[in-house]
Structure formats: structure tokens, C-alpha cells
Structure 1
């Protein structure tokens, strides 16, 4: 009886989360034309069992209960870009969408791609390599094992899909700095070569209108102040701007986006699940975003220049408080062991770490650029 109740709760959670995930990646537009067979045949539907998800079997009953009211799903942006290959490649964008199933409030976490974590098979390396090592399943296992989560679904897209989707939506408006303008113009050269989508150089900063090539270049910037921490903020800013445009788009625009991006999605979500959620498209609300780890430093390890959690189990505790308001969370033995191994391999401890302050890179809700809001300057 208890197992049946758990299964019903899990089914309800899965149904409530799926549409929001698609919204975040501007793939909710698929719902408009999913009845067309030629569209359905292009989607790379995948399956993942609970065992394949790699959920820690030593989660406390209290932790499992705290997550019962939420659903978590992994979002991967692959550096394969426009190749259509979802089996390999580093996942240079790693996000977790966590949905409160009661009030439909959503929190979005970017896991820094260079974070030193267990990536499977007893190996420790940058977490974005888990996808290269074993595809989406190993990447989901990496998130669950290191973070004590219960992710069972994912969506993977090629970054090349960003160009097509943003162009179809008519571009997005982003506030860019002089330094970002220079980097956008630099990176567009590669994007044009990759996609064949021509663009023009930006000539001014401030609030500017970006086409797909320019916006994708903006989302790739990391060699400025803030490094990869700011890049993840830019990725979330672009996704939010895309979502706003998609919500206002007409049926013809959405139909074009669907036809252009269906080749660039791999997911565990089923057609039935997506159709069930179509009626609730406006119910979810993105309330806060952040980057992970919260407390971190950098070090040169066997993986190169690496982000090191200070210390992992403390960061995971903070994550469970932030996502689930779980003040009583206690890390599993698995997470404690991984945390201890990271300390042993990196030499980074609470007492010797030079902690990087990432506060001003975290919450991007309602921001249309990387400039820090005045109320945040004192943080």
C-alpha cells in the first residue's frame, strides 16, 4: 500500500514538472504541434529507470520525505552544438529545475561545469565530463550521487538550437557592456562557421537587440570578470528572455520554432506527459536562481583549472535548504564519503580555502543583463 502511494505521488510530481522544463528551454512550444506525426518522429525520446538514475540508496527517510513535495529535473546544454549527437560531448550547461508541486514556484540551479565531483566509476573530475563518459544517464547519476537528489528526467539540447530558436522568436533584448560587445563580436565568427547563420557586428553597448548568433555568443562569454560564474548567469538571462518572447509569440511563430528545433532535443519526457501538462502552461513561476557550489574556491588539479566545493557536504546541506526549505537535512554517507575524497584529492578544506564570493552572479530573475542591481551592491 505504501509503495502504491509513493508511485502515485511520483507520477503526480512528474506530470506537474514536465511543462516547466520545456518552458525553460523554450521547448514548451513543441506542445502546439505535437499532434503532427512528422514532428513526433524527430524527437529523440529516451527512457531511464530508477536504477539508472543512480539515486543514493542511503538517503535518510527524512530527506526523501522533504523532497516528496518537489520534482527535480536535469537540463543539459551540450557543446556538440548543432551536431544532433546526444550520446557524447561535455555538458557545458548543467542546470537543475526544482518545482514546488503545491504552489508551482520554481528554482533554477546552474551547476558550474568545472566543479570537481565524482563523475562515476570511482573517478573525480570536472562534472561536465560525466556526459562525455556515459551520456545523459551518467550525467544524471553524477548529479544524484553528489547532491543527494532524486532526478529521474532530463532534457538535452544542442547549443546550436539556441541560434535557430532565438532567430525564430525575433531575437531578444539584452543589456550588454562594452566588454561584452567585444566578446560577442569575437565569438560570432565561430558561431557563423558552425551554423551558417550570418550576422552583423554589434556597434554599441547598453540595451541592444540580439539575433540568435549574437545571443548564443553572449551566452558563451566567460573570459571576463566573473569567469564561468558569470557565464552561467548569462545563460539563465538568455533562457529567461527566450521564455518571455515564447509566451508572447503567435501560433505561426511557435509552429516555426517547433519545426526548427525538434531535431535538437533528447528527453525522457513522453508525448502523453507533455500533452497532459499543456493546459497548465502559465501556472509555473520562476522565483529564484543560483549557481552551485555556494562556497567554492579554485585549484589546479589533475583536471586542470578546477572549481572545488568548500566542502561538498556543507554545500549540499545549503542546497537542500535553498531548494526544499529542509533545515533538518543530513548528508547521506555517500555524500559524506565523496566530500571527504574531494578534500583528500584537492587538499581544500574549510580552514585553508580562499573562498570566491559569487553572490552577485547568482539570482538572475528579472535581470536583462549582468550589471549588478543597486540593492545587491552591498552584498
Structure 2
């Protein structure tokens, strides 16, 4: 399939200024796992009460057991859906960031798999549509089912984080160091101004390229840049860049900082995981360490933009993407 048309993406993105943040989901998830695994006890339970815990029907998640059995590692590897939403109170919102967090003790890795939000897939009850619409149609349950049915996975759990938590997390951690290119410098300050106006912050402009120390608002602005020559693919790369920086900060942060961090982020977190689940997962995360690896699907060169009935979609060969994703998640094959 021809390579993704970046110019077409840029034109479309300029018409749709959505607040799409990817990396914040995994950060919220990781904060919960690392910190709660450490603090334990009654304090652990008290912190969990800050989260919005919901139930989902695990018999309605589209898992095809016969397909999963093809992978002998599947029962040892944990996959959790991570969603980033930009929603107001009372609304589900679209999951403009969709990731799969994989705890892989076999290969001693934490894997983060991004799914392009405009991917053209089948959504049960709604037909072919953008994968990020599934969350608005049926919340996390339908979103998980959509991922499982299209990519042949076995996801049963999720964590959703609202974009509002990101700047607070970054500021608590003392900011992040990010290298800004000349092209990114052309756009970042307009995003900073927009966030300052909406959130009542007063973060400064960035005046030069190179490595810059960014606060929460500046980092959020960096993650939202959409108009560079690389289009949506470069935007997701920027998300992963900030994720790497935050992951390194989190793993080197003292336990004394967890209290303020969790008090800020947990109200923005929704999950079906209970206290015992999180403690178990946190222990696994800590045993694996900071060996984080990332990938994105459809991979570069395997998708192209298309207008269907006047709507833009990212089209791709589903069977190819499905095979590549499962090989990566279950067998640690990255090509």
C-alpha cells in the first residue's frame, strides 16, 4: 500500500483543531502502577477511591480464543487498553489517543503500541468508521471490543485519562527536556497561547530551537503541533518523545513525590481495575524496570489517507497490520 499522504493530513488537520494527546494515558497509568505498588496499605485504598472505577462486560470484548491460542506467550503477557479523551463532564468523548500497554515478562519489556486514531475499521453496530469513534459510541467496552475484533487481541482491561491531567503531572515532576526543531518552533507558541487562554496559565514562549526545558503547558503545546511536514505521524512521534522523557522522570522520582502526583492525576483516571489488580500489575512493572519500547500501527508505509463519502480516513490492509501487531506484542518481533 502506498505511503501515507502527509500533505493531505496537514490540510485536514488545519480544518480540525482537535485537542489530541497521546502520551498522557500511559503516564496516568504508570503513575498509578508505580506509586500504588509502593505505598500499599490503607493509604493505597484511600488513593484508589479518587479514581472512577467502572465495570465492563468481559464476555462482550470480542476476544477470539482460538486465534489467541496460536500464541503460546499470550497467557503470560498482559495487555491493557489506554485511552486519552478530550471530554467535558457528562460526555464520553472520542478516544483521540489509543494505545495498548503490554507487560511482557518473557522478553522483560514494557511495550506501548499506538493505534492511529483515524484508522478505518469495523465497529460493531456502526459499520466501518474511525477507530476513535468507538469510544464515543460505546465507551471503553466498545473500544476494547473494536481493537480486539480488528487486530485479534485479548485485551480485557483499560485505563482512560482525561487530557486535563497532563500539564499538572509534568509540573509536579519539574518539567521535561525536549529538543525543539526549527519547524516546530514556528508553531509551538501559538499553541502555548491557546492553552494559556483556556487554562488561565501564563507559560512563556519558546524562542529558540534545540533542547528546551518545558513546563506542563509548553509540553502539551508541543504534543499538539500538527502542521509540520510529517503530519499526524510526526505528531505521534512527539507524543512518544514526551512519553520517554516523562517515563525517565517517573522512574527516578522519589517516593515522597508520589502523594502530590497521585492526588492530581487520579481524579482524571477511569478504569475497571480494582486495588488487587493494580497492586499485582504494579509489582510486574517494577520487576521489568524501565525497559520501555514503542511501536505504532499501521506502520509507516502501510497506510494512506482516503476521502470516503466526504470524510477523511486512514486506510490500510487490516490483515497485514493485524499480523504485525500480534507478532510485536506476543512474539517481540519488530520489523
> Quick check: 1:293 aligned with 2:301?
no
Q: Which moved more, 1:68-77 or 1:166-175?
A: 68-77
Q: Which moved more, 1:142-151 or 1:59-68?
A: 59-68
Match of 1:77 among 79, 84, 88: 84
SS at match of 1:75: strand
The structure having more radius of gyration, on CA atoms, is 1
Total equivalences in the alignment:
305
SS at match of 1:299: strand
Contact in 2 for aligned 1:25/1:239 (Cα 8 Å): no
> Quick check: 1:46 aligned with 2:51?
no
- Superposed CA RMSD in Å reads 2.6
> Quick check: 1:210 aligned with 2:210?
no
Structure with the greater relative contact order (CA < 8 A, sep ≥ 6): 1 or 2? Answer: 2
> 2 CA distance for matches of 1:174 and 1:103?
29
Q: How does 1:237-316 map to 2 (within 5 A)?
A: 237-284=241-288, 285-294=290-299, 295-302=302-309, 304-309=311-316, 311-316=317-322
Q: Which runs of 5+ in 1 are unaligned?
A: 1-19, 328-362, 364-378
> 2 CA distance for matches of 1:213 and 1:21?
18
Cα displacement (A) at 1:48: 2.5
> 2 CA distance for matches of 1:239 and 1:207?
16
SS at match of 1:236: helix
Show the counterpart of 1:27: 32
Contact in 1 for aligned 2:160/2:270 (Cα 8 Å): yes
> Quick check: 1:194 aligned with 2:194?
no
> 1 CA distance for matches of 2:82 and 2:198?
23
> 2 CA distance for matches of 1:141 and 1:147?
10
> Quick check: 1:63 aligned with 2:70?
yes
Contact in 1 for aligned 2:173/2:249 (Cα 8 Å): yes
1:149-195 deviation per Cα after TM superposition (whole angstroms, max 9, x unaligned): 00001110011111110011000001111221232211122322333
> Quick check: 1:323 aligned with 2:332?
no
Match of 1:163 among 167, 170, 194: 167
TM-score, normalization: structure 1? 0.73
Cα displacement (A) at 1:67: 2.0
Contact in 1 for aligned 2:103/2:284 (Cα 8 Å): no
1:6-50 deviation per Cα after TM superposition (whole angstroms, max 9, x unaligned): xxxxxxxxxxxxxx9667643335415563365332211122232
Show the counterpart of 1:332: none
SS at match of 2:243: helix
> 1 CA distance for matches of 2:89 and 2:287?
31
SS at match of 1:63: coil
Q: Which runs of 5+ in 2 are unaligned?
A: 1-24
Q: Which moved more, 1:155-164 or 1:229-238?
A: 229-238
SS at match of 1:199: coil
Decide whether aligned partners of structure 1 residues 303 and 132 sit closer, same or farther in structure 2, where only a CA change above 3 A counts. Answer: farther
Contact in 1 for aligned 2:167/2:216 (Cα 8 Å): yes
TM-score, normalization: structure 2? 0.82
Contact in 1 for aligned 2:68/2:74 (Cα 8 Å): no
> 2 CA distance for matches of 1:63 and 1:281?
26
> 2 CA distance for matches of 1:281 and 1:319?
21
Q: How does 1:8-27 map to 2 (within 5 A)?
A: 25-27=30-32
